[in-house]
Amino acid sequence: MLNSLTTLFKQLLEGSDVNKQDQNPHLAMACLLAEVSGADHDITAEEEQAKKDLLAKLTGLETEQAAGLIIEANERIKQSASIYEFTSQLRELSQQARFDVIKALWEVAHADGDIDPLEDAVIRKAAELLYVEHSEFIRAKLMVVDHKQ
């Protein structure tokens, strides 16, 4: 983490645009899904499968490609200082697409049948950073918990 902060400060001092580096919205979505599943430090097989399936659904990628992105995302989140670097790449998405991302985060969190408060906190922060209204944040959660599509 210290290395990533040092790199960030160095890039800021040099005037390079940190956000333009490594721009990959699909990877950013994978990182958010991985961040939520790992928030409670207990990643279940159901959560692993949900991440792959949901990433494929969100991006239109094949499941194998999505699985590869999840593996890359697991490494990327170990080096990140916050989820801001991932959400900042997704702000240009439509309101509906950002809602779909938040709903997918809820689906990963609920894949094991329980939403941990730490998972809730990560999703709440992601929704704020993606400018998803609180009412939509709650609507997405209820859709997942109540199994309404």
Structural domains of the chain, ranges and CATH numbers in brackets:
18-145 (1.10.3680.10)
User: So what's the pLDDT on residue 34?
Assistant: 95
> In 3-state terms, what secondary structure has residue 29?
helix
What does 89-137 look like in DSSP terms, one character per residue? Answer: TTTTS-HHHHHHHHHHHHHHHHTTS---HHHHHHHHHHHHHTT--HHHH
- Measured between alpha carbons, how far is 45 from 124 in angstroms, rounded to an integer? 23
13-47 pLDDT, tens digit per residue, is 655 444 444 579 999 999 999 999 999 898 899 99
Q: Please, how many CA atoms are within 13 Å of residue 126, restricted to the half-sphere of its CB?
A: 32
- Measured between alpha carbons, how far is 135 from 137 in angstroms, rounded to an integer? 5
User: So what's the pLDDT on residue 5?
Assistant: 56
55-76 pLDDT, tens digit per residue, is 999 999 998 999 999 999 999 9
- What pTM was estimated for this model as a whole? 0.83
Whether 7 shows a pLDDT value over 80: the answer reads no
